[in-house]
Structure 1
Amino acid sequence: MSDVSVYQSRPPSLWTLYGKAILPKGQKASGDLEIPGLRSSLVGVSTANDNLKRYQKVCGFATQTHAPITWPHILAFPLHLKLLTEKAFPLPLLGLVHLRNTITQHRPIRIGETLDIDVRLDGQNQGAKGLEFDLVTEVSSAGKLVWEEVSTNLFRQPQQGEKTNPGKPPELQRYPNTLNINAPESIGRQYAKVSGDRNPIHLHALTARAFGFPRAIAHGMWSKAQVLALLEQQAGWKHEAVSVACQFKKPLFLPGTAQLNWQTGDSNWDYQLLNAKGDAPHLTGNITWG
């Protein structure tokens, strides 16, 4: 992988980057695809900007002295978009699938704290459904790593040979605690305003249909943030070093309702966001302290 690094003091313009996102990519044959080692950094980013209160409201986070655990993802998003729209990046941005996301917070980040953010492409792997790669984000304060994230994305590719039978999915385990979540039709547009993620599959039924979806679908990172906002309010939650992993499963169509289902433990919790019937997951994951 070739390494290209860009350092800057201001986030790139999202509208300019979205203009680049619609340009066609000259894709190579599937076996020749290589994800370049692109890297970009942003220095001196304040955790307290104009969007923070709106983000807390859209995702359901209570107002506190520290930033929501998912907030650095929003601060880093312009860098994510920059790397994925670089000329050297061989894949089209629209159509990439977010498979997994793991956030590790080494300590709570204070609101108003100044951060340095570094993002890189890494972890290329040929999976069962196509090419997988990671967006790795590292956030530092005063030179010390305080937060990191690995987002695994998929570029679907036609598979060679006979189709394999995936078999019966494992039986869904139900946990003892459940809360209902309401996702209004407008939540995709609300989240897009505070996150900058204006992928058309999330904005409106008309734009989602152009990509094969019958209705708009909720952002995966909104779903994860909504889950964490609710779990933070439960007895036993600890505001300290924590890692939150999740796997994105079935889309949550808008408008829609879902069930947050979870179980607690001394050092880890398991959670899942289920459909309205409670028989299929939108996302599953676990939380680990220490």
Structure 2
Amino acid sequence: MSTLELPRLPAAGPLYRRAALALVPGVGGGRRAAELPDLELVVRDVPVDREHLAGYDRVCGFPLGDRLPATYPHIMAFPLALRLMTAPDFPFPMVGLVHLANRITVRRPLDAGERYDLAVRATDLRPHDRGRQLDVVATASVGGEEVWRDVSTYLSRDRGAGQGERRDRGDRPAPPAPAARWRVEPRVGPDYARVSGDHNPIHTSRLGARLLGFPRPIAHGMWSKARCLAALHSRLPDAYTVDVGFKLPLPLPSTVAFSAAPDGDGWRFALHAATSGKPHLSGTARRE
């Protein structure tokens, strides 16, 4: 795999325009590569913007402080992921990819005073029963030591291409007893877009959501994960892996039920619709 070292993080605006043009026939929707790019994008010595961190903490429910939430470096690395996934040699249009799962490993506490080397690559293109899936891997290092790793799994839907084994969904189990109920207001969409840099209209615009098949905007999956981790904040160790699967979309506004229970050396948690019990997210947090 080759490495392209950039002098700074790319600006998100032009990349989103490129992503939108990729959906227009005859403009950006030409023939795409068959495989993932054999490339890692790197930016070194990236500082933490403490004002931005405080804004992120407020939107996601974390206490203000100098320790980075596990999900915050995902935001720092997002411009690199955006650059990678909007490039002409990426095999799928970025808009329309479905975020299936996310796994983050924090190897030790991350301090806002540190500077981080960020790297992003795409890997493991494989079949899925609804198309094809891939992983986007992001890492943060300090002094040559990897201190954080993030693996996001995305689905490109294409029933004709699906070759994976179809999962038996079976009957939906009853949701666990909730530990808390949260009202998720419509402002969560634009507020999270502002602090994350992810301005996908499916999260911020009723029209954009409708164009992609949803009657109203839906919450970003990484906001849902961050909100759950904020609820567990005081119970998490210094080094851990938090693994979540994203289930049904969380429409805005909604009332959701959060549940959490000790599970071995960690926690098992979930987010369900408060009234219907439909699942939005399930996950585990385990000591490293």
- Unpaired runs of at least 5, structure 1: none
Number of the residue aligned with 1:42: 43
**1:25 and 2:29 equivalent?**
yes
Matched, 1:116 2:117: yes
d(CA) in 2 for partners of 1:157, 1:89: 16
Partner of 1:98: 99
Q: 2: distance between equivalents of 1:147 and 1:170?
A: 37
The 5 A counterparts of 1:210-249 are 210-233=211-234, 237-249=235-247
Aligned partner of 2:56 in structure 1 is 55
Aligned to 1:258: 256
Q: How far 1:171 moved relative to its partner?
A: 4.1
Note the alpha carbon deviations across 1:142-172, whole angstroms, 9 max, x for none: 11110001000000012379xx997653442
Question: Given that residues 175 and 272 in structure 2 are in contact (C-alpha distance below 8 angstroms), is that contact kept between their aligned partners in structure 1?
Answer: no
Query: How many Å apart are 1:39 and its aligned residue?
Result: 1.5
In 1, Cα distance between equivalents of 2:110 and 2:132? 34
SS of residue paired to 2:51:
coil
Q: Secondary structure at the match of 1:202?
A: coil
The DSSP-based 3-state class of the residue aligned with 2:17 is: helix
Counterpart AA for 1:106: R
The residue type paired with residue 277 of structure 2 is D
Q: What is the DSSP-based 3-state SS (H/G/I as helix, E as strand, rest coil) of the residue aligned with 1:21?
A: helix
The DSSP-based 3-state class of the residue aligned with 1:50 is helix
Query: Which range moved further: 188-197 or 259-268?
Result: 259-268
Distance in 1 (CA, whole Å) between partners of 2:185 and 2:119 is 34
**TM, length-normalised to structure 1:** 0.91
The equivalent residue for 1:6 is: 4
AA matched with 1:8: L
- Please show how residues 52-201 of structure 1 align to structure 2 within 5 Å: 52-159=53-160, 169-172=170-173, 174-175=175-176, 178-201=179-202
Amino acid aligned to 2:134: F
Per mean C-alpha deviation after superposition, the further-off stretch among 43-52 and 118-127 is 43-52
1:9 positional shift: 2.9
Question: What does residue 278 of structure 2 align with?
Answer: 280
Q: Secondary structure at the match of 1:240?
A: coil
Q: Any gaps of 5 or more consecutive residues in structure 2?
A: 22-27
Could you say if the C-alpha distance between residues 239 and 268 of structure 1 is closer, same or farther in structure 2, counting changes exceeding 3 Å?
closer
Q: Are 1:172 and 1:279, in contact at CA under 8 Å, matched by a contact in 2? A: no
Is the 1:40–1:120 Cα contact (8 Å) retained in structure 2? yes
Q: Distance in 2 between matches of 1:257 and 1:20?
A: 35
Identity, % of aligned positions: 38
Distance 1:166 1:241, change over 3 A: closer
Question: Does the C-alpha gap of structure 1 residues 100 and 126 become closer, same or farther in structure 2, counting only changes over 3 Å?
Answer: same
Partner of 1:205: 206
- TM-score, normalising length: structure 2: 0.91
State the shift of 1:257 in Å: 1.2
**Aligned mates of 2:256, 2:139 — CA distance in 1:** 31
- Following superposition, which runs of at least 4 residues in structure 1 exceed 3 angstroms of deviation? 164-168, 173-177
Distance 1:165 1:47 in 2: 42
Letter in 2 for 1:149: D
Q: What one-letter code is carried by the residue in structure 2 that aligns with 1:283?
A: L
